[in-house]
Amino acid sequence: MFIGKREKRKVLYWLERRLHASPLIELALHKRVPVHKHSVWYYFGGISLLFLMVQIVTGILLMVYYVPELASAHASILKINSGVEFGWFIRSLHSWGANLMIAVVFIHFFSAYFMKAYRKPRELTWLTGVVLLVLCLGFGFTGYLLPWDEVSFFATKIGLDISSKVPVIGDIIATMLRGGTSIGQSTLSRFFTIHVSVLPILLMGLLSVHLAIVQAHGMSEPSDFTKQEDEEKKYEPFFPDFFFKDILVWILAGNLLFALTMLAPWGIGPEADPFAPAPIGIKPEWYFLAMFQFLKLVPPMIGPIEGELFGILVMTIFAGILAAVPFWDTGESKLKSDLATALGVITVLFMVIFSVWGAMS
């Protein structure tokens, strides 16, 4: 049916009276994106968003068949893989999607870091981002146990044993997550609940704040861009120019996810046997590998302190310094700015070298 201009105006007027959305639409229409040689990094927040949406949809579909009970969890995944039409596809999308999302969120973290996008007035965008990164790692950690296969069981055991070493709160948190002293039904139920309801609620709330602040401030400008004369600075409108490029990037990222899903469908190992000895060479997921490898190298005792505890303290302090970067690298001191860049480079090198080392050893 043909809708004329008058009807269209009527519908818009009806919506506006109820939603009062025109200031938001105005904001979106006037948003502009700086154009410079680092502009490519502006796409990674959007790609994180795409993968998050894939995770939500595929996660809901998986919940239809997954059973969070010791006797059935592994069998329900086997059923999804071979007894449910396109089950393998949805599961593989969810597993590859989780890995790609964490990788992309890390890239987004470091690009915001190196572009110094955390500086005033974006301190809260940064801090909400830091918590989002922790939540994403939490999704990875809790989701990994759910198939209840050998590797996921023992990797979770190692992860919980390590976190119980954190002074004061570590043991309490590990015991609460386990639901006792050993991994069993209580652990599976807790991980499932955290994975499908606690983390999604926290993530959606925090992401809304993150995105609202991004909209309020517009995109940050790197310092070599701000130093240019006003006439030399180039901008493009967010809508439609940047928006359509965003869509193109989404299509490319979606294709990568589909290719991985089709070419390397996600497998599953033998069912976990809590009473069997841990298989040799068990490792956590790649995003925890650098930490794991570092802890393996620390000697058992460093002076009066237990080696693992020392390693955890060093990494926690280092991560705290990076998370607090907006408050010490405010842009007023060249020395602090260079120090922030150097710490970022050290962190990236540490993560890459220790992850590769961990994967190979």
Tell me if 143 contacts ligand HEM by CB under 6 A. Answer: no
Query: In angstroms, what is the minimal distance from the CB of 73 to ligand HEM?
Result: 26
Q: How far apart are CA 198 and CA 241, in angstroms?
A: 37
Segment contacting ligand HEM (CB under 6 A): 19-27, 121-129, 167-175, 310-318? Answer: 121-129
- Decide whether 157 or 210 has the Cβ nearer to ligand HEM: 210
Segment contacting ligand HEM (CB under 6 A): 75-83, 109-117, 333-341, 346-354? Answer: 109-117
The binder of ligand HEM chosen from 68, 97, 129, 358 (CB under 6 A):
129
Segment contacting ligand HEM (CB under 6 A): 2-10, 21-29, 102-110, 277-285? Answer: 102-110
Tell me if 325 contacts ligand HEM by CB under 6 A. Answer: no
Tell me if 44 contacts ligand HEM by CB under 6 A. Answer: yes
Tell me if 137 contacts ligand HEM by CB under 6 A. Answer: no
Segment contacting ligand HEM (CB under 6 A): 64-72, 79-87, 115-123, 305-313? Answer: 115-123
Query: In angstroms, what is the minimal distance from the CB of 123 to ligand HEM?
Result: 9
Query: In angstroms, what is the minimal distance from the CB of 113 to ligand HEM?
Result: 7
Segment contacting ligand HEM (CB under 6 A): 80-88, 117-125, 173-181, 295-303? Answer: 117-125
Tell me if 108 contacts ligand HEM by CB under 6 A. Answer: yes
On whether the CB atoms of residues 354 and 281 are closer than 8 A, the answer is: no
Tell me if 153 contacts ligand HEM by CB under 6 A. Answer: no
Q: How many residues bind ligand HEM (CB under 6 A)?
A: 26
Q: Which residues contact 58 (CB under 8 A, 6 or more apart)?
A: 90, 91, 93, 94, 97
Could you count the other beta carbons within 10 Å of the beta carbon of residue 75? 14
- Decide whether 114 or 286 has the Cβ nearer to ligand HEM: 114
The binder of ligand HEM chosen from 54, 98, 102, 136 (CB under 6 A):
136
- Residues 198-217, one symbol each (x = binds ligand HEM by CB under 6 A, - = not), give ---------x--x---x---
The binder of ligand HEM chosen from 66, 89, 96, 118 (CB under 6 A):
118
Q: Residue with structure tokens 């309020």?
A: 216
- Decide whether 166 or 202 has the Cβ nearer to ligand HEM: 202
On whether the CB atoms of residues 289 and 198 are closer than 8 A, the answer is: no
Tell me if 158 contacts ligand HEM by CB under 6 A. Answer: no
Segment contacting ligand HEM (CB under 6 A): 80-88, 124-132, 139-147, 313-321? Answer: 124-132
Tell me if 356 contacts ligand HEM by CB under 6 A. Answer: no
Q: What is the 3-state secondary structure (H, E, C) of the chain?
A: CCCCHHHHHHHHHHHHHHHCCHHHHHHHHHCEEEECCCHHHHHHHHHHHHHHHHHHHHHHHHHHHCCCCCCCHHHHHHHHHHCCCCHHHHHHHHHHHHHHHHHHHHHHHHHHHHCCCCCCCCHHHHHHHHHHHHHHHHHHHHHHHCCCEHHHHHHHHHHHHHHCCCCCCHHHHHHHHHCCCCCCHHHHHHHHHHHHHHHHHHHHHHHHHHHHHHHHHCCCCCHHHHCCCCCCCEEEEHHHHHHHHHHHHHHHHHHHHHHHHHHCCCCCCCECCCCCCCCCCCCCCHHHHHHHHHHHHCCCEECCEEHHHHHHHHHHHHHHHHHCHHHHCCCCCHHHHHHHHHHHHHHHHHHHHHHHHHHHC
| Contact footprint for ligand HEM (CB under 6 A) | 42, 44-46, 48-49, 52, 105, 108-109, 112, 117-118, 122, 125-126, 129-130, 132-133, 136, 207, 210, 214, 219-220
